[in-house]
Structure 1
Amino acid sequence: MTGPTVPMATEPEPAAGWAPTRALGRAVLLAGLLLVAGVLLGRVDLIVLAAPLALGTAYALRRRPTALPQVWVTQDAGGPLVEGGDVTAAVSVGNPDTVDYDLVVVRSRVSPWLRIVRAGFARNDGVEDVPPSTTAATDATAPAHTGRSVADRPFVTSVPTGAVVDLELAGNALRWGRHPVGPAGARVATAGGLLVSRAVITEPVRVRVYPRTEPFEAVEAMPRAAGLVGAHHSRRPGEGGELAGVRRFGPGDRLRRIDWRVSLRARQLHVAATLSDRDAEVVVLLDVLAEAGRSGGVSGAASVLDTTVRATAAIAEHYLHRGDRVSLLEYGPAARRLRPAAGRRQYLTVLEWLLDVRVHPSSHEPYDQVFGPQLLSSDALVVVLTPLLDERSAQMLARLARAGRFVVAVDTLPTDLPSPKDRGWAEVAYRLWRLDRDVMIGQLREHGVPVVRWAGAGSLDLVLRDVARLATAPRVGGR
């Protein structure tokens, strides 16, 4: 990975940002002492000893640097990066000066969720320059946020005039989100190590890591379809691909629907009746009021936020692939929302939107702020991803059910949530909290809110079947 060509400086300027090193001070002091001692004592040998030091120092300082090094961070844009994928970045150091940089020390910070397993220098002429001290081993099985990364150390190289040297970082992404590579800094020594520059710091680059889509497929009908262009089989007759039966030909029936075998046998025209194919609007509501569990990355344990984001990506991909409209809402003080739309562009927008999902603990009741007027369609299916750790979440589900919405609650609390290690009251309190949470889930089901645990493919099939049956059932009105 190479950066752009660095232009060479043409006019010398004052060496701003450069300072003498201790080596320069020692050389000047020693040469001066020898010269003074030789003159005062009349010792020619002392003057002869001081001459090489003075001449060497003067020769090293004959060309002083006039420009500071240039530092920037780049990422290899090889396509969308998903959890577990390979990530490649580079910290580039350019020399715009008229003198060579004898020694360059480069150091960069890297997000703990980017496991860097290989790091080394590569010049812009393609020649590898990896000193043995810069190649460190790392445990590929250890989590990225524990232990020391390969990139968490200084790297040393040299940069000729007008050249660029890249510190290439290669590894893999362990978790979704926007992870920084940087800030990166470099310090340069030149003139034989007699002058050193101040540290040049560059801003970090955010690497976008999209959530891994868990397998999910729901084959059951939607509760109530809103349009006539989707792929869901409704229970209403109309134009579609699912056969509902054969009936007599009537006014308005199309000729291409005539079933000639039945018509010849019955000696009357009969047509094939079908069920209409309709699209649906799916609203995925993310409960961001609380977090639980510890994230272990793509191959480790999943926290509430991990399960919420990955399940949202899977649900959105499934329904958008079927031609439905999908919108996203955050149940929290920020009340972020993504407007409903369909197609691949909406799926890419969903993935980008999910990168900024964060937990926002707050004592504020966000119901009226999230569910403003005309934000939810009356026919939309609302899939709520919630750990049910906050009483406000259960109250929100109950209010949506009482308002006549088609609500499905997906439990995102980790099944392997550890109990407190302390014995005594802590363990008793944990068991009481579990019992209270089970009672709350039972009360939600009594209010008509199905609660199902997220388990990938087929997680919502049984629930959607029951919701669709309730939506199409006749309602009995009182007199």
Structure 2
Amino acid sequence: MSLSGVPAAAATPATRSELAFFPTRALRRSLGLIILLAVLTIMLGRVEFVIALAPFAIGLAALLGHVPTIEPTAQIKLSSEASFEGSSSEAVLRLHNEAEVPVVVHSALDHGQWLTFTQGTNYADVVKANSVRERRVPFTMNRWGSLHIGPAYYRALACGGLLEATRQVAAPKNMRSTPTAMPTDLKFRMPDARGFVGPHRSTLHGDAAELAEVRYFQPGDRLRRIDWRSSARSQHLYVNATESERDVDVTLVLDTTSEAGTSAGVKGAASVLDLTVRSAFGVTAHFTEQGDRVALWEYAPHARHLRSGTGRRQQEAAGVWLTKTMVAEHPSPVDPRRYLSMLRSGQGLIIVFTPLLSNSPLDFMGLLASTGRSLLCVDTLPRDLQPNHVSEQALRLWHLERENLLADLEERGVHVLTPTRTAQGDRLSFVYSPATSQGKGHSYGAVA
């Protein structure tokens, strides 16, 4: 099974077959006992053996008086096909018996590793004749991704356990566990807002309440914009120019070329992929809620892409897109220059989520910084991750090398943000201020 919980292959759906009930060991033993007592009665001429034989024969005949000819069928249904990780949901195991006699159905439910069932996964249900029985199976989703419930393996018993049906399989169901959005505290003035409407100041002047400058009157200016006090003092017409409020383009780039750490679910330790997906979804939710356009890219050889959009619809689409994020078992190298050419040219903000474990994403961020784009980097390496089987001196050198790497990115104008662990969980906090620049990039200040 892959990291995201997708089953390797789907099971074959259950089919209904005729005359599929066969004798069990209990029926064979009962017949053997009756035959043995009958032989002893004939050979020994003992009448008392008939008294011992009669209950077995009468009971066996009564139980086999009505033999089912049709196997029951089973089907898995989900109360919801999508929910957030850590939440509880419910599946329904629907058993349908079309035979004229009741049957007992024993079922075993298979599932992905990130699902926890509070009532177990093995059940025995009595299904009456010509009826349907539904068993509700509550479970909890412990991690984001595409999770599967099933297949369900079930077997029917009839006539007091004397007959059994062949083992059947109910088709599995897939459901989507959307990652929880990491709480994100963003306090900044966005760079180069050039959209039509939005909450950020734009580099373009327009109708708004934020004063940009007082300038000479030009043909086309509205009369209500005239600053009469300045005009009266200088004997020239002056107008108040305001900054319009626009939206911006935000591009999130997720580095999926490497993975580190162990995922223990929503309440346990987080791996690199967990921090990447949850922090990206938190940033996406923040920007889409305030009206900005957000696009998502995977920094991987296949370059999976979610086109730019805004609003709640884009947020839901991003949640679906992020559940399919995974790290390839044998990733091929990524060409940073080829990837840079695929990004949309513009002056919006680019946020790169990377654990900084390989040179390719570093080269990519260097190319972005050299083009003068506004760039942020989110370090998704878990803080409690430590290399295994290394000496204390080697571990210290590894920490020093990583500190030098982060300092080098700061000198290039790329500020590195790290999710902080709080009592409520991981949180991403930072302040963005494009007023100061270093080199061709912008300077960023982090909030502790």
User: What's the TM-score bracket when you normalise by the shorter of the two chains?
Assistant: 0.7 to 0.9
Structure-2 change in CA distance of 1:75 and 1:335 (3 Å) = same
Distance, in Å, in 1 between the alignment partners of 2:108 and 2:330 is 38
Aligned position for 2:43: 40
Tell me which of 61, 65, 69 is aligned to 1:62. Answer: 65
Q: Which amino acid aligns with 2:105?
A: V
Structure-2 change in CA distance of 1:304 and 1:60 (3 Å) = same
Please show how residues 57-456 of structure 1 align to structure 2 within 5 Å: 57-77=60-80, 81-101=83-103, 103-117=104-118, 119=119, 151-152=120-121, 154-259=122-227, 270-362=238-330, 364-367=332-335, 371=339, 373-420=341-388, 422=389, 425-455=390-420
Alignment RMSD: 2.9
Instruction: Report deviation, 1:100.
Output: 0.5
State the identity as a percent: 37
Q: Which amino acid aligns with 2:211?
A: L
Instruction: Report deviation, 1:260.
Output: 5.5
Instruction: Report deviation, 1:341.
Output: 1.9
Structure-2 change in CA distance of 1:85 and 1:161 (3 Å) = same
**Of Structure 1 and Structure 2, which has the larger fraction of its residues in strand?**
2
Structure-2 change in CA distance of 1:430 and 1:183 (3 Å) = farther
Instruction: Report deviation, 1:353.
Output: 0.3
Please say if residues 189 and 433 of structure 2, whose CA atoms lie closer than 8 Å, have aligned partners that are also in contact: no
Structure-2 change in CA distance of 1:72 and 1:303 (3 Å) = same
Q: Which amino acid aligns with 1:445?
A: E
Gaps of 5+ in 1: 1-8, 120-150, 474-479
**Cα distance per residue 1:286-305 (max 9 Å; x no partner):** 01111222223223332211
SS state at 1:282 partner = strand
Distance, in Å, in 2 between the alignment partners of 1:469 and 1:171 is 53
Distance, in Å, in 1 between the alignment partners of 2:327 and 2:337 is 17
Instruction: Report deviation, 1:470.
Output: 5.9
Q: Which amino acid aligns with 1:379?
A: Q
SS state at 1:38 partner = helix
Aligned position for 1:29: 32
SS state at 2:206 partner = strand
Please say if residues 74 and 170 of structure 2, whose CA atoms lie closer than 8 Å, have aligned partners that are also in contact: yes
**Cα distance per residue 1:223-262 (max 9 Å; x no partner):** 3234333332024433334222444433221233345666
Please say if residues 188 and 196 of structure 1, whose CA atoms lie closer than 8 Å, have aligned partners that are also in contact: yes
Distance, in Å, in 1 between the alignment partners of 2:337 and 2:442 is 31
Q: Which amino acid aligns with 1:249?
A: F
**Cα distance per residue 1:315-336 (max 9 Å; x no partner):** 1112222322211111123321
SS state at 1:384 partner = strand
Please say if residues 79 and 91 of structure 2, whose CA atoms lie closer than 8 Å, have aligned partners that are also in contact: yes
Please say if residues 414 and 441 of structure 2, whose CA atoms lie closer than 8 Å, have aligned partners that are also in contact: no
SS state at 1:47 partner = helix
**Cα distance per residue 1:123-162 (max 9 Å; x no partner):** xxxxxxxxxxxxxxxxxxxxxxxxxxxx24x222211012
Deviating beyond 4 angstroms after TM superposition, the runs of 4 or more aligned structure 1 residues are: 259-270, 455-458, 463-473
